[in-house]
Chains A and B, each alone.
Chain A
Amino acid sequence: MKRASLLRWETMLAAVLVFEFILFSTISPYFLNVDTLSDATFNFTERAIVALPLALLIIAGEIDISVAAIIALASVAMGLASAQGLGTASVAGVGLGTGFLAGCINGALVTLGRVPSIVATIGTMTLFRGAAYAVLGDRVLKDYPDSFAAFGQGYLVGPISIELALFAGFAMVFAVFLHRTRWGRAIFAIGANPVASRFAGVAVNRYRFALFALTGLFSGLAAVLLTSRLGSTRPSIAQGWELEIISMVILGGVSVWGGKGSIGGVVLAALVFGLVTFGLGLMNIPGIVMSIFTGLLLILVVAVPALLNRR
């Protein structure tokens, strides 16, 4: 029963996606063009890359509000590293490392500090973003090595950007991991009932810690891509992304109560998100108007099953 309604949600997302395609291609003759579509992917891949591990985290019954702040902190760390004259690979390494460490801090607060994850990550969000502001103030860092631009602006083959390829590759890895391995099963079990999982021999806190570290690492990756694409770092970089990324995950059918969700849904939601933003741009409708639809859609996602399953 629950599995069926979950499937229905993904079919619905797919239908929305098809509808968007038809709508935008009738409205704008430039839409169904390989280059246009390739451009369209840039406005969601970075967020979607963070949405993947965050989906696992939310399925495990936790949440991370600090992802965007980690992106800012990692970006600042990379800016400082490249100001010291480090090469492209080391700069990217600094970004990933900063993200990973920040994720470990979140994990430690939740597992060792026993702080509820929403509270802990509101705290670290303020801390990380605050650190970015404290270090940078109103300065801008932009002396990145030339080859650094490849991550966010380069293409793998033809119209497929490196960002898109990374997202597609990781989406498959995450899908297999979550839906086909025993670790994935354990994540669902933890989300459904952490106490029972613990009694069943699942090292709950070890999973939690690993998932926070993973989310941090991928926020670091998003920081590499975003910084490389923009070519500059301000402390306000990726401001407000945490709520957009969480919306993406929930729109994908992941339950905030934990224990339910799929990577397929999250990928579809990311595509829907990206296409809507891009299509409305084609129609000259400002993004803020779209936020009305995303907001309503978000409530609808949880309201529809609630109405159907009413006891």
Chain B
Amino acid sequence: MSARLRIPPHARRDLAFAVLTLALFCAVTFVFPAFASPRNIAGLLDDTAILIMLALGQTLVILGRGIDLSIAANLALCGMLAALFNRAWPGAGVAPVLALTLVSGGLLGACNGLLVWKLRLPPIVVTLGTMSVFRGAIYLLSRGAWVNENEMSRDFLAFPRREFLGVSLLAWIALAVAAAFVVALRRTRVARDLYAAGGNPEAASYSGIDPGRMQFIAYTLCGAIAGVCGYLWVARFAVAYTDIALGFELSVIAACLIGGVAIAGGVGSAAGVILGCLFIGIIRNSLPLVGISAFWQMFINGVVILAAVLLSARQREFKRTILEVRA
């Protein structure tokens, strides 16, 4: 560990993780040179794009000491809304669909945020509840039926697949969102307020920041991202049904944890989370090359999560345990 270097502790983690991710990438490329081909890298970005966006949204919520278990159900509900809208008005184009999912996702997120902010309910219970409600709502909306590829308009399906410079539009959107998060989390006032609120809510409220309001904003943004991702997901996989992205909320949270976001709030960076998602993506894409069954993916993820959180726990040890006695 280069503890002597004058790099702030958190950037140090991101830097180490970047080196690790790069090393993993190089190792796979060394054995399978085709892995670094532009075609494959574009595919890798396309595969991880939705995870990156969702994980960044979730990061906002976790930074503010919340958690959003309803993120995947929100995605599925907005995805279904998009598919049904498109079926009803196939000629309307993509712009209204994007607007619809952005707004509906944001509203669903705002429901979570309001309950957490105004009633001070525990985030895990609120989002566990809304998760079930959203899933049930999809069933009611669709009456349990699937919306299949042949019921979707060509524009609707083609939008995320359109390619610029060999990279899909879906990946470009994720890259744009990622860049926006990297800048916004470091440079905007609202982000600094969010860090402050999550790091120490009492101190934050003494300095004029309402931690509840910051959580509300985080949930709303996270919901809006999940909503748009719902459309992108449905268009990419060309099908919408009640159970899409079932259980994906935990994968998203896992990506945040690997990326160094602290569940206790106030700690985490956009760069770390993006690296975490890429790390997962590289493993997922290289397993078939190395000849390991795809069934090992989840197990490897588990090992990575535990390694990441154990290391983070050691780093943070002194900060939060001034009074706690070691048993």
Contact = CB atoms under 8 A, between A and B. Distances in A.
A and B associate: yes
Interface of A: 63, 65, 109, 111, 113-116, 118-120, 122-131, 133-134, 136-138, 194-195, 198-199, 203-206, 235, 239-240, 243, 246-247, 250, 256-257, 286, 288-292, 294-299, 301-303, 306-307
Contact of A114 (B135, B246, B313): B313
B125 A302 contact: yes
B242 interface: yes
Contact of B298 (A122, A129, A138, A204): A129
Would you call the interface of chain B mostly helix, strand, loop, or mixed?
A: helix
Q: Which 4 A-B pairs have the closest CB atoms?
A: A127-B302, A130-B299, A295-B132, A130-B298
Q: Which of B69, B136, B253, B264 has the most CB of A within 10 A?
A: B136
Contacts of B94: none
Contacts of B119: 302-303, 306-307
Contacts of A120: 306, 309
Contact of A118 (B263, B295, B317, B327): B263
B145 interface: no
Nearest to A246: B128
Nearest to A203: B327
Tell me what chain A mostly uses at the interface: helix, strand, loop, or mixed.
helix
A290 B129 CA distance: 12
Interface of B: 67, 69, 115, 119-122, 124-126, 128-133, 135-137, 139-140, 144, 242, 246-247, 250, 253-254, 257, 263-264, 293, 295-303, 305-306, 309-310, 313-314, 317, 321, 323-325, 327
A9 to B, nearest CB: 14
A299 B121 contact: yes
Contact of B115 (A116, A194, A303): A303
Contacts of A115: 309-310, 313
Given A119-B309, A256-B125, A302-B122, A134 B296 contact: yes
Given A286-B144, A292-B137, A243 B69 contact: yes
Given A115-B309, A243-B69, A130 B302 contact: yes
A302 B69 CA distance: 17
B317 A306 contact: no
B80 to A, nearest CB: 13
Contact of B136 (A119, A289, A299, A303): A289
B275 to A, nearest CB: 18
Contacts of A290: 136
24 contacts: A115-B309, A115-B313, A123-B257, A123-B305, A124-B306, A126-B254, A127-B306, A129-B298, A129-B302, A130-B298, A134-B298, A195-B323, A240-B246, A243-B131, A288-B242, A289-B136, A292-B132, A292-B136, A292-B137, A295-B131, A299-B129, A302-B121, A302-B125, A303-B115
